[in-house]
Structure 1
Amino acid sequence: MKVTQKKLDDGKISVEAVASTAEVSTALNNAGIMFAQQMGLHPERDKTVAQVCEERMGIKDLDAVVEAQAVEALVPFAVDKTGIIPAYPPQAMPKSPLKRGQTFQFGLVVAPKPNYDLESYESVEITVPELVADDAEVDNQIAQLAERYVEYVTDEPHVVGKGDVCMISLESFMDGEKVPGLTMDGRTYATGAGLMPDGFDENIIGMDVGETKTFTFEGPGLDDEGNEIVEVIECTATVKEIQKQVTPVIDDAWLKKNMPMYADMDALRSSISGTIHRQQMGEYENYKRNLAVTELAKRFKGKIADEVYESMSRNLLNNLRAQVQQQEGMTWEQFVEQQGGEQQFNMMMMMQTRQMLVQGYALDALFTHEGLVVSDEDIMEACTSMNPQNPQGVRRQMEESGRGFALREAAERIRANKWLLEHAKVTIKENQA
């Protein structure tokens, strides 16, 4: 992407950008894929996303539908080329049509992130509780380990009831063809656990040990076009035995048989304790960092522009809405009500927005004042904070989407926060017995 920039009288930067034909194609492709995912469409062999959208939704020109999203995706690349960290995301001003096989010209007005100062750069003082090992958590994890190795053994025979566990054999057919996943010589099955459709449970309940029954039941399925249908399955089931759950005792003998990598219980407890301690140390370190930056933010000087407030508040609100949508059985209105109603919720969001902005700007000021430099370790720590399971993937995704500037900002603030804590006066408050 070719970019030229010019400083305006108000301190903002006018940016003119030209996206190549390859960049235009990539932006449209990615926007199309995101649209299909949002619509619940799945990729099909030997078909493009556009073909799938046309067949399933009647969309003749997918590029036209996702044009706005594609333009929005090109904006970060232009910003990243300038080397500027914006105070808030700029909006694209198209200068030419967005068409495959053509370059795309657009303009931006970027407001650079302002430089703020602090009233003081002296060491902050914080008081934290003593970190104490908790043997009860080790015991809890050993109990969880035992639950994962539960065994089922033969119990006294009786008629199968709801909630009973039994060993059954199955032979199932659908449209005259055997169903491999529902055909087996022996399977431990718990009735009433929702593992199979209700019609299956209704037939198993009431059977006696040794009894064989042939019946049909309905289950969910998909047709060749991916539409949900109801499938009818014919099944012959035999109850072979009633079973009961036995939770093992985790001791030296059990470890020797099942987890020989541990010499004895002391070795197991030591390993679990070490893992817990490392996790607690990470949380403890983050707790201290948060306390330190909270103290630093009290020294912030300056006025934050309304546009910055609005942008940050909008981002926080969108993220929160996405989280609430993932919670089953809760609407956005119910969530707001749980927070004390709309007025209290809005006040909370306003305070959280200001807190995040002030803390970030305070760390920026410290980073500049101390002449700090970002390391690759800081960048990876920033990625880990976004996704602990796949930090490398986060880094690749952010850099490939043109948001390297956002990653650099996050890494700079992490570097400043670490420096702040390293030079802080930390008082450890002993826990009262």
Structure 2
Amino acid sequence: MKVTEKKLADGVIKLDCEATAIEVNNALKEAGEAFALSMGVRPQPGKTIEQLCQEQMGIADLDKIVETSAIEVLVPRALDRRNLVPAFPPKATPATKFERGKKFSFTLSVTVKPTYELSSYDPVEVTVQPFVFDESPIEKQMEELAANSVVYEVSDPHPLTAGDACSIAMKCMDGDEEIKALTCTDRTYILGRGFMPEGFDAEMVGMEPGQTKEFTFDAPLGMEDGEVTMKPIQCTVTVNNVQKEVTPIIDDAWVEANMPMFASVQALRDDMRRVFEAQQREAYEGYVQQIAVGKLTSRFSGRIADEIYEATRDHLVQNLRMELQQAGMTWEQFIEANGGEQQFGMMLMMQTREVLVQGFCLDAVFRHERMTLTDKDLEDACYGMNPQANPKMMRQQLEDSGRGFALRETAERLKAARFVAANAKITVAEAPAAPVAAPAAVETPAAEPAPEAAAEAAVEEPAADAKTDEN
């Protein structure tokens, strides 16, 4: 992509951008795949996304549908090309028609994120609650271990009813062919758990130990024109005995029989404690870091431009709406649960300022301390964004998509936050009101994000006038 840069007034930089035909095609592909995924259209061998959208949704021109999204795909690539960090995401203004297989020209008016200085860079002084290990996860895991290790023992004989467990011998036939997967001589079966079709359970109700019964039930064992078809299965079942569910006691004997890698139940608990304590200490470090960074924000005294404030507020609201949608909660329900429009508006205003100020303060620390980023810093930032993802792969994906500038800002702020916490003068309170393992969650947009949270941009010095970068 060719990108020419020119400084305008008030920290605004104009970018004249020209994407290649290949970049246009790739942007359409990315936007098309994202659209299809959001609409529940899944890839099929031998068919393009365009074909699938036409067949399943009647869309004749997918490119037209995703044009705006495809142009948005190109925007961060242009920013990353010039290593510019916007105060808020800029909108592209097309200069030519956007068409597959052709070059595309557009302009961006980028408001570069401003820089601020703090009133002091001395270590902050904070008071925190002491770390107290919470034992409850160990007890919960022990209970789950027992619940997942139930055994079935012979119980008093009686006619079977829904929910009963029993041992059965069974032989099932599909015509003249035996269904070996269903044939057994001693298998625990629980009526009503959905392990077999309802017709099978209906025939089992009322049977007693020692009784044999032959019957037919319908089972979903075939496919026709892509649809599941039901087939009649001939079955002979003998009830060996009625059983009862027994939850084991997790003691030394059980551990020796089932988890011989541990010498005793205490060794098992010690291993659980090691894992949970590491998790809780990591969360506690995040809590201390959050307190330290929160204290740092009192040293901020700059003025934040209205357009930056409004863009950040809109971004917070957009993210919240997406979270509510995934949780099945309406916007109106959320507002009502959080005190109504006026109270929510005040909370949103406070959170918007806190998000901005916290970020600008960390930017200032990073610059003041003349920090630089390492590969580990970038991968730590990726881990903070998504602990389940491979950090190296995530970094590659972000950089390939043109979001390297956002990743760098996240990494810079994370490194600065760790520096602030590591150098803080910390007083540990003597008696906590309750165990402290992590920052308290607030179920509103006013929830203060951890310093590791990714922002939308990074601070760098604006490039010189009229510079051009090409592939």
Q: 1:359: which partner in 2?
A: 358
Measured against aligned partners, the alpha-carbon deviations of 1:63-121 in whole angstroms (never above 9, x if no partner) come to 11111111111110001111111100000111122222212111101111100122222
1:194 shift after superposition: 5.8
Deviations 1:288-312 (A, max 9, x none): 0110111111211112222222222
Q: Is the 8 A contact 1:166 1:242 kept in 2?
A: yes
State the match for 1:287 in structure 2: 287
Give the counterpart letter for 1:257 in structure 2.
A
Equivalence for 1:255: 255
Matches for 1:254-403 after TM superposition, within 5 Å: 254-328=254-328, 330-392=329-391, 393-403=393-403
AA aligned opposite 1:308:
I
Alignment of 1:57-206 (within 5 A): 57-167=57-167, 183-185=182-184, 188-193=188-193, 202-206=202-206
User: Match for 2:78: what amino acid?
Assistant: A
Q: Is the 8 A contact 2:222 2:231 kept in 1?
A: no
1:355–1:198: structure 2 CA closer, same or farther, 3 Å change rule? Answer: farther
Specify the code of the residue in structure 2 equivalent to 1:292: A
SS at match of 1:126: strand
CA contact (8 A) 1:171 1:178 kept: no
Q: Could you tell me how far apart the structure 2 residues matched to 1:333 and 1:178 are?
A: 59
CA distance in 2, matches of 1:368, 1:412: 9
Bigger shift: residues 305-314 or 73-82: 305-314
Give the aligned partner of residue 38 of structure 1.
38
Conservation of the 8 A alpha-carbon contact between 1:28 and 1:66:
yes
Superposed CA RMSD: 2.9
C-alpha distance in structure 2 between counterparts of 1:33 and 1:400, whole Å: 17
Q: For 1:136-190, what per-residue CA distance to the aligned partner results, in whole angstroms no more than 9, with x for missing partners?
A: 543433232222222233332322333333445677789x798979845365444
In 2 relative to 1, CA 177–389 (structure 1 residues): closer, same or farther, beyond 3 Å?
farther
Counterpart Cα distance in 1 of 2:337 and 2:216: 48
Kindly indicate whether the alpha-carbon contact (under 8 Å) linking 1:150 and 1:245 is maintained by their aligned counterparts in 2.
yes
How far off is 1:123 after superposition?
Answer: 1.3
Q: Is the 8 A contact 2:157 2:242 kept in 1?
A: yes
Structure 1 gaps of 5+ residues are none
Distance 1:371 1:377 in 2: 17
Change (3 A) 1:336 1:94: same
How many Å apart are 1:324 and its aligned residue?
Answer: 2.0
Residue in structure 1 matched with residue 412 of structure 2 by the alignment: 412
5+ residue gaps, structure 2: 434-471
CA distance in structure 2 between the partners assigned to 1:319 and 1:220 by the alignment: 44
After superposition, the C-alpha distances for 1:246-289 in whole angstroms (9 at most, x for unaligned) are 22222333223322222223322221111111001100000001
For the pair 1:234 / 2:239, whether they are aligned, the reply is: no
Say if 2:221 and 2:231, in contact at 8 Å, map to a contact too. no
Provide the identity percentage.
Answer: 45
Deviations 1:14-65 (A, max 9, x none): 0011112221111111111111111111211111111111111222221111
- The Cα of 1:399 is off from its aligned counterpart by 1.5
SS in 1 for 2:16: strand
- What corresponds to 2:15 in structure 1? 15
Offset, 1:221: 10
8 Å Cα contact 2:172/2:183 also seen in 1? no
Query: Is the Cα contact below 8 Å between 1:172 and 1:234 reproduced in 2?
Result: no
Q: Under a length normalisation based on structure 1, what TM-score does the superposition of the two structures give? A: 0.89
Query: Residues of 1 paired with 2:294 and 2:346: CA distance?
Result: 19
Distance 1:358 1:169, change over 3 A: farther
Q: Contact 1:126–1:427 at 8 Å: present in 2 too?
A: yes
2:213 is aligned to 212
| Comparing 76-85 and 122-131, the one that deviates more | 122-131
Asked if structure 1 preserves the Cα contact closer than 8 Å seen for 2:203 and 2:215, the reply is no
Q: C-alpha separation between the residues in 1 aligned to 2:242 and 2:316?
A: 53
Q: Distance in 2 between matches of 1:151 and 1:241?
A: 15
The aligned amino acid for 1:53 is C
Structure 2 distance, partners of 1:157, 1:272, is 41
SS at match of 1:242: strand
Name the CA shift for 1:172/1:37 in 2 (closer, same or farther; >3 Å): farther
Q: Quote the Cα distance in structure 2 between the aligned partners of 1:337 and 1:177.
A: 64
> Which protein has greater RCO, CA pairs closer than 8 Å, 6+ apart?
2
1-side partners of 2:351 and 2:280: how far apart?
A: 26
State the distance in 2 between where 1:40 and 1:399 align: 27
Letter in 2 for 1:301: S
CA distance in 2, matches of 1:198, 1:117: 71
Secondary structure of the residue aligned to 2:428 is strand
Cα gap change, 1:55/1:140 in structure 2, threshold over 3 Å: closer, same or farther?
Answer: closer
Q: Relative to structure 1, is the Cα distance of residues 241 and 122 closer, same or farther in structure 2, using a 3 angstrom cutoff?
A: same
Number of corresponding residues: 428
CA distance in 1, matches of 2:204, 2:96: 68
Q: State the secondary structure of the residue aligned to 1:301.
A: coil
Distance 1:14 1:164, change over 3 A: same
